[in-house]
Structure 1
Amino acid sequence: MTLLRTVDPAVEPVTLVEMKRHLRLSHDSEDELLSGLIRAAREDVERTTGVAMINQAWRLVLDCWPSSGCVLLARHPVREILSVTVYGSEGEAAVLDPGTYLPDTLSRPARLHFEQRPERLRIANGIEIDFSAGFGEAGTDVPDLLKRAVTLLAAHWYEFRAAFGPGDQPVSYPAGIDRMLASYRERRL
C-alpha cells in the first residue's frame, strides 16, 4: 500500500501576515524563510495527525483487494472519491463505475466498500484510488487548533534557527504541541 499526494494544497492554512503578526515582525527580509517554515510545519502536523488541512488530491495504490472488501483511506477528511482504476494482468486500465462501490467518507478512516472485486489484477500496484481530502480551500476552513499548532511549530523553528544548522532541524518541538494535536490523531487499537 502506497499513499501519494498528487495535488498539493493551493494555499497554506496560516498566512505569512498571520505568522509575522504572531512573531511581531515588521520587516520583509525573512519572508521566504517564514513561508518555508509554515509549509514545513503544515506538512509535519498533517503527517502527525493524518489530516489534510487544505484541499489536496491523493492516490492510494494497492497490490490486491483486502479480504474484507473494504479499503481504508488514511487521510481525513475525505471530500470525494475521484476515481478507482484497476489494472489487468496485461497492464490494461479500467476505471470502475462509481455504482460498484460504496464510499463512507464520514468515518475515520474513510472507507470504500466493494461488493464485487475485479479479478486478474497485475501483481504489483493493480489498484489506484484517487480521492480529494481537506477541510476546505482556505485557511479559514481549517479548525483553529490545527492552525494554532502550525503557527506554534513554525514560530518555534524560527526562534531556534540560528542555534543549530539546517541539517539538524527540527531540533525540538514546542511544549504543548502534543496536547494540541491529540484530538486529531488517529487512534489505533
Structure 2
Amino acid sequence: MRPMLIGAPAIEPVSLADAKSWLREDGVEEDELIQALIVAARMTLEAYTRRFFVTQSWRLVFDCWPTSVGSSATLSIPFAPFQSVTAIRVFDATDAPQTLNAATYRAPDSTEGGRVSFASAPPAPGRASDGIEIDFDVGYGSLASDAPQPLRQAILTLVAHWREHRGDSGDDALPKSVAQLAAPFRRERLL
C-alpha cells in the first residue's frame, strides 16, 4: 500500500489573519513566513494526531488486493476522518484502468477510518505492480471552522512557538501546551 496526496487542502484551518491576530502582528513583512508556519504546523499536527483537519484527496495504490478482500469482505482505509471513496480502478493486462462500478462496493461516509465493503470479490489486477488505485476524501470538512477548535488552537500555539524560537536548536518534541491540545484527537497505532 502506497499513499499519494492527489488534492491538497483548498484552505488551511487557520487563516493568515487569525494567526496574525494571535501573534499580535500588524505588518505584512512576515506574512510569507507566518503562512508557511501555518502549513507546517497543520502538517505536523496531522502527523501527530493521525487525522486530517480539512478536506483533501488521497490515493492508495496496491500491487494486489489485501488478503482480507475477497467475496463479501472489507478493505480498511487507515485515514481519518474518512469522508468517501471517489473511485476504485483496477488495471488490466494492457495497463488500461477499469473503474469499478460504485454499486459493487459500499463505503459509509464519515467514519473514523474508512471501510470499503465489496458485494463480491473485486477483479484481480492484470499487472504485477501498482495494479489497484483507490481514490478517497478525508478530513473534518471543507471549511476552516469544520476542524475542531482545540486543533485550530494547537496550530496557532505551534506557529507562535516556532516564530518565537526560530533558529533555536533543541528538542524536536511538540511543546507541552500543543501536545495537550491535540492529545484528545490522537489516534493510536494498533501495530
Whether the 8 Å contact between 1:77 and 1:105 is mirrored in structure 2 is no
Measured in 1, the distance between the counterparts of 2:82 and 2:168 equals: 40
**Of residues 108, 111, 115 in structure 1, which corresponds to 2:115?**
111
Which amino acid counterpart does residue 97 of structure 1 have in structure 2?
N
Whether the 8 Å contact between 2:125 and 2:131 is mirrored in structure 1 is no
Whether the 8 Å contact between 1:55 and 1:137 is mirrored in structure 2 is yes
TM-score (ref. length: structure 1): 0.89
Deviations 1:71-97 (A, max 9, x none): 222221222211000012331210000
Measured in 1, the distance between the counterparts of 2:36 and 2:176 equals: 22
- The RMSD of aligned alpha carbons is 1.8
**Which position in structure 1 is the counterpart of 2:183?**
182
**Residues 89 and 148 of structure 1: CA distance in aligned 2, closer, same or farther (over 3 Å):** same
**Which position in structure 1 is the counterpart of 2:91?**
87
| Most deviating of 31-40 and 59-68 | 59-68
The equivalences for 1:21-32 within 5 A come to 21-32=21-32
Whether the 8 Å contact between 2:51 and 2:79 is mirrored in structure 1 is yes
**Which position in structure 2 is the counterpart of 1:38?**
38
Measured in 2, the distance between the counterparts of 1:109 and 1:93 equals: 26
| Most deviating of 126-135 and 112-121 | 112-121
**Of residues 124, 128, 133 in structure 1, which corresponds to 2:133?**
128
Which amino acid counterpart does residue 129 of structure 1 have in structure 2?
I
Measured in 1, the distance between the counterparts of 2:84 and 2:167 equals: 43
Measured in 1, the distance between the counterparts of 2:142 and 2:178 equals: 24
**Which position in structure 2 is the counterpart of 1:58?**
58
The equivalences for 1:147-158 within 5 A come to 147-158=152-163
Give the drift of 1:32: 0.5
The equivalences for 1:11-30 within 5 A come to 11-30=11-30
Measured in 1, the distance between the counterparts of 2:155 and 2:51 equals: 13
Give the drift of 1:182: 2.2
Measured in 2, the distance between the counterparts of 1:160 and 1:171 equals: 12
State the identity %.
Answer: 34
Whether the 8 Å contact between 2:64 and 2:125 is mirrored in structure 1 is no
**Residues 28 and 172 of structure 1: CA distance in aligned 2, closer, same or farther (over 3 Å):** farther
**Which position in structure 2 is the counterpart of 1:96?**
100
Matched length: 185
> Runs of 5+ in structure 1 lacking a partner?
none
Give the drift of 1:157: 0.8
User: In structure 1, the residue corresponding to 2:33 is in which secondary structure?
Assistant: helix
Which amino acid counterpart does residue 50 of structure 2 have in structure 1?
G
Runs of 4+ residues over 4 Å off in structure 1: none
User: In structure 1, the residue corresponding to 2:17 is in which secondary structure?
Assistant: helix
| Most deviating of 112-121 and 19-28 | 112-121
Measured in 2, the distance between the counterparts of 1:91 and 1:78 equals: 29
